[in-house]
Amino acid sequence: MSYSDKIEEMRNELRVMNRAIPDTMKGFGALSKAAKESGTLDYRTKEMIALGMAIVQRCEPCILFHVEGLMKAGGTREELGDVISMAIQMSGGPGVMYAGHAMACWDELAAKA
């Protein structure tokens, strides 16, 4: 399954959850919006932080969404590399394995752009 397909599959699952538990999902959406739109860091920097955390936490769907978010925010593949390097430094071997998903997702999405 391609990374684009995985992203779409996860979006479909989130739509189901939005219908099943709308108040919880609305609350999470408000939290996410507040975190992204407030403070002194720009959105691209926040996406880099979120992506690094997703790699360290080994959350593949999070990795894919934040790779996509970083691309949409104007991030570069070189910045992705820096994020991956820091995530690996913080998480060791498991980070290497999940960082591979981030790089492969970037390359697939970039090829489709």
Q: How many CB atoms lie within 10 A of CB 88?
A: 19
Q: Is the pLDDT of residue 3 over 90?
A: yes
91: confidence class by pLDDT, cuts 50, 70, 90: very high
Domains in the chain: boundaries: 3-112
8 A C-beta contact, residue 35 and residue 67: no
Largest CA distance in the chain: 40
Q: Fold for 3-112, please state it.
A: AhpD-like (1.20.1290)
Span 29-58, average pLDDT:
97
Q: Is the pLDDT of residue 54 over 90?
A: yes
pLDDT tens digits for range 55-87: 999 999 999 999 999 999 999 999 999 999 999
Q: How many CB atoms lie within 10 A of CB 50?
A: 20
**pTM of the entire structure?**
0.91
**Spatial distance between the Cα atoms of 66 and 36, rounded to a whole number of angstroms:** 12
Closest to 95 (Cα-Cα) out of 41, 47, 35, 53: 53
**Spatial distance between the Cα atoms of 79 and 51, rounded to a whole number of angstroms:** 11
Q: Is the pLDDT of residue 113 over 90?
A: no
How many Cα neighbours within 13 Å face the side chain of 12?
A: 6
Q: How many CB atoms lie within 10 A of CB 11?
A: 11
8 A C-beta contact, residue 65 and residue 3: no
